Structure 1
Amino acid sequence: MENKYLLHGKLTAKPGQQKELADILIQASQLVSTAKGCTLYAVSHDQEDENAVYVTEIWDSKDDHDNSLKVEGVRELIMKAMPILDGAPTKGQELEILGGVGI
Structure 2
Amino acid sequence: MNQYLLNGKLTAKPGHQDALAAILLQASHLVATAKGCRLYVIGTDKADSHSVYVTEIWDSKEDHDQSLNVEGVRELIMKAMPLLDGPPAKGQELEIIGGAGV
Please indicate the TM-score interval, normalised by the length of the shorter structure.
over 0.9
Rounded Cα–Cα distance in structure 2 between residues aligned with 1:63 and 1:95: 14
- Residue 71 of structure 1 corresponds to which residue in structure 2? 70
1:40-55 to 2 correspondences below 5 Å = 40-55=39-54
- Residue 84 of structure 2 corresponds to which residue in structure 1? 85
Pair 1:94 & 2:93 matched: yes
SS at match of 1:69: helix
Rounded Cα–Cα distance in structure 2 between residues aligned with 1:85 and 1:15: 9
| Percent identity (aligned) | 72
TM-score under structure 2 length normalisation: 0.98
Rounded Cα–Cα distance in structure 1 between residues aligned with 2:94 and 2:12: 24
Shift of 1:95: 1.1
Q: RMSD value over aligned CA atoms?
A: 0.6
* CA displacement 1:17-49 (0-9 Å, x = unmatched): 000000000000000001000000010011110
Runs of 4+ in 1 over 6 A off after TM superposition: none
TM-score under structure 1 length normalisation: 0.97
* Unmatched runs of 5 consecutive residues or more in structure 2: none
* Residue-pair matches, total: 102
* Unmatched runs of 5 consecutive residues or more in structure 1: none
> By percentage of residues, which structure has more strand?
2
Rounded Cα–Cα distance in structure 2 between residues aligned with 1:73 and 1:56: 20
Mean Cα deviation higher: 64-73 or 93-102: 93-102
